[in-house]
A = this chain, B = another copy of it.
Amino acid sequence: MRIVDESTDHGVTERTFTRDVDGDTVPGVLWLPAGNDAPRPIVLVGHGGLQHKKVPNIVELAAQLVRNQGYGVIALDAPGHGDRAADAEAIEQTRQGLQRGTARLDADQTKQLFGRIGRHAGEWRAVMDDVQSAGLSDGRFGYWGVSMGTMIGLPLTASEPRITTAVFGLAGLGEGPGGEAFGEAARALTVPVLFLFQWDDNLMSRESGMALFDAMGSKHKTMHVNPGGHVEIPRFERDAAEAHYVRSLGPVPAPVP
């Protein structure tokens, strides 16, 4: 992990970094309480398709978890996304067009965006190793990611014992990439899960969302369903995610006097 920039705003320090993994350079951000590098639980945040590590909902979630709970938060650009995109401007235009219903992903774009996301789990593991070596992590990690953030983070969580709690959403079984392996990963989950689903999601059928929730092997799992489309999760679900982490990660240890 190479720190390339650091700034502090209202008690939250934001460190921009890069990490080389298997010949790729992965850009990331680490948020921490200002002036406090003690070991703490860290929440890993995976952005959605066509998004990047610093979209507003991620920056706001990070600030809330750092300020209210003292957790650390890390976001990475997924392969093909953010600073790793061949043409970030074109992706942003496509994202807006998709949201308006006036654009479609062509085969080339789809390959550029999603062709290499399978390697992202290994990148997350490398960054987890780094923050543990640096003494910033106390060994407990949570995960937050919906849509593509679930497609990547659910198999990661199922196979990574350091991640002990997760918020997933906007994903289903039998739709989207992953297929059989994704269903198997869901069944292999054991950690407490909060699963966010939108009742009128234009990308996921209700049945596929219910099937994914049903398949999850976790003893403790909760599904929150709200009206509205794919990108319309209500603001108050951020508080529900925070409450989920407080229940499952617990508090930050008090400093040793």
> Using a CB–CB distance below 8 Å, which chain A residues touch chain B?
199, 206, 210, 213-214, 219-227, 234, 236, 239-240, 243, 247
Interface contact A243-B234, CB-CB below 8 Å: no
- Please tell me which one of the listed residues B206, B220, B236 contacts residue A243 in the complex, with CB atoms under 8 A apart: B236
Interface contact A225-B227, CB-CB below 8 Å: no
The smallest beta-carbon distance between A185 and chain B, in angstroms, is 19
Which residues on the B side are within 8 Å of A199 (C-beta)?
213-214
Of the A-B pairs whose beta carbons lie under 8 Å apart in the complex, a sample of 26, sorted by A's number, is A199-B213, A199-B214, A206-B210, A210-B210, A213-B225, A219-B227, A220-B227, A220-B234, A221-B226, A221-B227, A222-B224, A222-B225, A222-B226, A222-B234, A223-B223, A223-B224, A223-B225, A223-B226, A224-B224, A225-B225, A236-B243, A236-B247, A239-B243, A240-B240, A240-B243, A243-B243
Which residues on the B side are within 8 Å of A247 (C-beta)?
236
Q: A227–B210 Cα gap in the complex (Å)?
A: 12
Besides A221-B226, A222-B224, A236-B247, 17 new A-B residue pairs in contact (Cβ under 8 A), listed by A number: A199-B213, A199-B214, A206-B210, A210-B210, A219-B227, A220-B227, A222-B225, A222-B226, A222-B234, A223-B223, A223-B225, A223-B226, A224-B224, A225-B225, A239-B243, A240-B243, A243-B243
For this chain, the copies found in one complex come to 2
Q: A223–B225 Cα gap in the complex (Å)?
A: 5
Which residues on the B side are within 8 Å of A240 (C-beta)?
240, 243
Q: A26–B165 Cα gap in the complex (Å)?
A: 47
Q: A30–B243 Cα gap in the complex (Å)?
A: 29
Which residues on the B side are within 8 Å of A234 (C-beta)?
220, 222
Q: A57–B16 Cα gap in the complex (Å)?
A: 48
Q: A219–B220 Cα gap in the complex (Å)?
A: 29
Q: A62–B61 Cα gap in the complex (Å)?
A: 31
Question: Which B-chain residue is minimally distant from A222 (CB atoms)?
Answer: B226
Q: A223–B196 Cα gap in the complex (Å)?
A: 10
Which residues on the B side are within 8 Å of A221 (C-beta)?
226-227
5 A-B pairs with least C-beta separation: A223-B225, A222-B226, A224-B224, A222-B224, A236-B247
Question: Which B-chain residue is minimally distant from A195 (CB atoms)?
Answer: B225
Q: A210–B227 Cα gap in the complex (Å)?
A: 12
